[in-house]
Structure 1
Amino acid sequence: MKNFKWTALIVVCIAFAKANTLQAQENFKAIAHYIVQTKIDLKDDEDKEKEAKDEAEDARTSEIMAKLREAMAKGNQQEYVMEITPTESSYNKVVELAKPKKAGEISVSFTVNNGSTSSVYKDLKEQKYYKEDEIMGKEFLIVDDIPSYAWQPVNETKKIGNYTCYKATYTPVLTEEEKKEQEEKMEKASQGSLLAMIPEQDRTITAWYTPEIPISNGPGEYQGLPGLILEVQEANTVLLCTKIEINPEKDLDMKKPKSGKKINQKDFDELREKKMQERMERNGNKGFIITRTTSN
């Protein structure tokens, strides 16, 4: 174990030295492609399942409940592209064309907000990130400091593609405010059968990074390791780099977001939570998006 610690320390030092050298090369650029997969495994609770069925008013409601279960178990997969230079990066979702649906067909989807599922621009010189987001149609420009992660090295390596990757973990500590919010959410979840069946998740974030690409950066808000982060696992979400283009011939198209009312992340999250609660109380949506296709 002592030998590994010394080896890990040497690797980290060499990687940071390479990172400093590479980041001094202004012409370096790369494009990384990521797949983000989110799945939610429901707890097996027969009482709550029976309760959910009893609450169903008709066959159509039962069908919607079944679709919700199916969507959560199947998961939600999205593709992202990250453009990288030594001083900035841009991580954005690949927009897909909507698939045609039959008239009367019910479509159910869900969204998860975390560090790997938000489109984000990072200014590494200023250590700031910029995101455009909206709440019920109103646009916001989120500007805040890039989060600092107290990564802990783990005695594990693996290959991702052709790159040797090292494992690191980070477990965020709940603040008193977050503990209070968690208690409130658990209390509200107990009133909705599906949300109550979602088990509590381990808060540990696991990252795999490669010193072979010595840029201290990663997808979404993640960064702070001596190499590019190629894989992240956070709660129900797994993020994996599937392709990297080093110094591609085409020019990068990174643009710092500018549209929307400027706000920091904390204030934006609080406002969004408030509006979501208002919406849930108004129509009982529970955070899921349900659409029904109608004929023209």
Structure 2
Amino acid sequence: MKSHSIKISISCFVFFVSVMAFAQKDFQGKAYYESKTTVDMSSFGGGDMSDERRKEIASRMKSMFEKTYILTFNQLESIYKEEEKLDAPGGGDSRFAGMMSSFSAGPQYKNIKNKELLQDQEFFGKQFLIKDSLPQLDWKMEGETKQIGQYMCFKATTTKTVNTDNIPNFRRPSRGEETETEKPTTKDIEVVAWYTMQIPVNLGPDEYWGLPGLILEINADRTTILCSKIILNPEEKDVIKVPSKGKEVTKEEYTAIVKKKTEEMRQNFRGSGGPGGGGGGRR
């Protein structure tokens, strides 16, 4: 009990010292995150797809769900976007890669003062500007701590409702499935966050925010986001630009657009055996 109290006291001292150090007006930081999402391939393509074909598609999709993101932030705002990488020559099915990239999140801007969330999103050649309020996450502070790099981190948890329509589903439907009552397209997931009060900003990767320190790790359903590098007050500072291009839509409107397009793709893939065709394709 005594050691626990000492740990809290030290953490509070570190927090107040950090607040003073980060109070300068021109403060900026950059955090690099490795994001990995596992995909359940058990029903992918239906029962007619061979295990070999399913493994081939899983291998191709793996790189698309393992990405590096950069969070550029100050005390009140941030921009979170994928790190640009050169495509490897002969990188496989470009049509499939282009299709899957449409389901990748574009640059995301957060402003905690205005409680504003903006996302610059390209979806199948069309540009959208998704406008929303920052999600109100009901964080529960846990008693656990762990070290991530040189930073002492504290655990917090919350429950979040996610929309499954944003996840492409290309499995072949079973006979008579089209006439079934539409199933719910949302589900609740537990989110585990690890944040550090050594960097006292209320920001984090993706749409996560609202803790008394920068979030360095997120575990949510099948996705893990882990900070691998932090640069504080870089010599060359980036301008955090507010996204402004594209057709302005709400999150609900964009979800409806994704759902409609996903259903069209599902119909097109029916009988083809999955991305790239099931067989007899041109060489």
TM-score, scaled relative to structure 1? 0.72
Is 1:267 aligned to 2:279, yes or no?
no
Residues 50-85 of structure 1: CA deviation (Å, up to 9, x unaligned):
x73xx25xxxx8754331243457773111111111
1:277 alignment partner, SS class: helix
Gaps of 5+ in 1: 193-199
CA distance in 2, matches of 1:285, 1:18: 62
CA 1:238–1:289: 2 relative to 1, 3 Å: farther
CA 1:10–1:223: 2 relative to 1, 3 Å: farther
* Residue 215 (structure 1) shift: 0.5
CA distance in 2, matches of 1:86, 1:285: 52
Indicate the residue corresponding to 1:279 in structure 2.
265
Conservation of the 8 A alpha-carbon contact between 2:106 and 2:120: no
1:82 alignment partner, SS class: strand
CA distance in 2, matches of 1:268, 1:7: 49
Conservation of the 8 A alpha-carbon contact between 2:121 and 2:127: yes
CA distance in 2, matches of 1:190, 1:25: 56
How does 1:52-67 map onto structure 2 within 5 Å?
Answer: 52=47, 55-56=48-49, 64-67=53-56
CA distance in 2, matches of 1:150, 1:98: 40
Partner amino acid, structure 2, of 1:33: Y
CA distance in 1, matches of 2:114, 2:188: 32
Indicate the residue corresponding to 2:74 in structure 1.
85
CA distance in 1, matches of 2:242, 2:60: 34
Conservation of the 8 A alpha-carbon contact between 2:128 and 2:247: yes
Indicate the residue corresponding to 1:131 in structure 2.
119
Partner amino acid, structure 2, of 1:39: T
CA distance in 2, matches of 1:93, 1:251: 18
CA distance in 1, matches of 2:110, 2:37: 24
Higher helix share: 1
CA 1:100–1:92: 2 relative to 1, 3 Å: same
Q: 1:101 aligns with which of 80, 90, 103?
A: 90
Partner amino acid, structure 1, of 2:249: I
Q: 2:196 aligns with which of 188, 195, 210?
A: 210
How does 1:1-296 map onto structure 2 within 5 Å?
Answer: 24-42=23-41, 52=47, 55-56=48-49, 64-71=53-60, 76-101=65-90, 118-172=106-160, 191=173, 203-284=189-270, 290=276
Conservation of the 8 A alpha-carbon contact between 1:22 and 1:215: no
Indicate the residue corresponding to 1:197 in structure 2.
none
CA distance in 1, matches of 2:7, 2:259: 41
Gaps of 5+ in 2: 175-185
CA 1:205–1:62: 2 relative to 1, 3 Å: closer
Partner amino acid, structure 2, of 1:172: K
1:204 alignment partner, SS class: strand
CA distance in 2, matches of 1:126, 1:15: 28
CA distance in 1, matches of 2:271, 2:120: 24
Residues 220-252 of structure 1: CA deviation (Å, up to 9, x unaligned):
211000000001111111111111111111121
CA 1:79–1:224: 2 relative to 1, 3 Å: same
Partner amino acid, structure 1, of 2:32: H
How many aligned residue pairs are there? 262
TM-score, scaled relative to structure 2? 0.75
Residues 246-292 of structure 1: CA deviation (Å, up to 9, x unaligned):
11111213211111011111111111111211222133399x7549x
CA 1:33–1:74: 2 relative to 1, 3 Å: closer
Conservation of the 8 A alpha-carbon contact between 2:79 and 2:109: yes
CA 1:251–1:31: 2 relative to 1, 3 Å: same
| Aligned residues: CA RMSD | 4.1
Conservation of the 8 A alpha-carbon contact between 1:218 and 1:230: yes
CA 1:209–1:280: 2 relative to 1, 3 Å: same
CA distance in 2, matches of 1:130, 1:258: 9
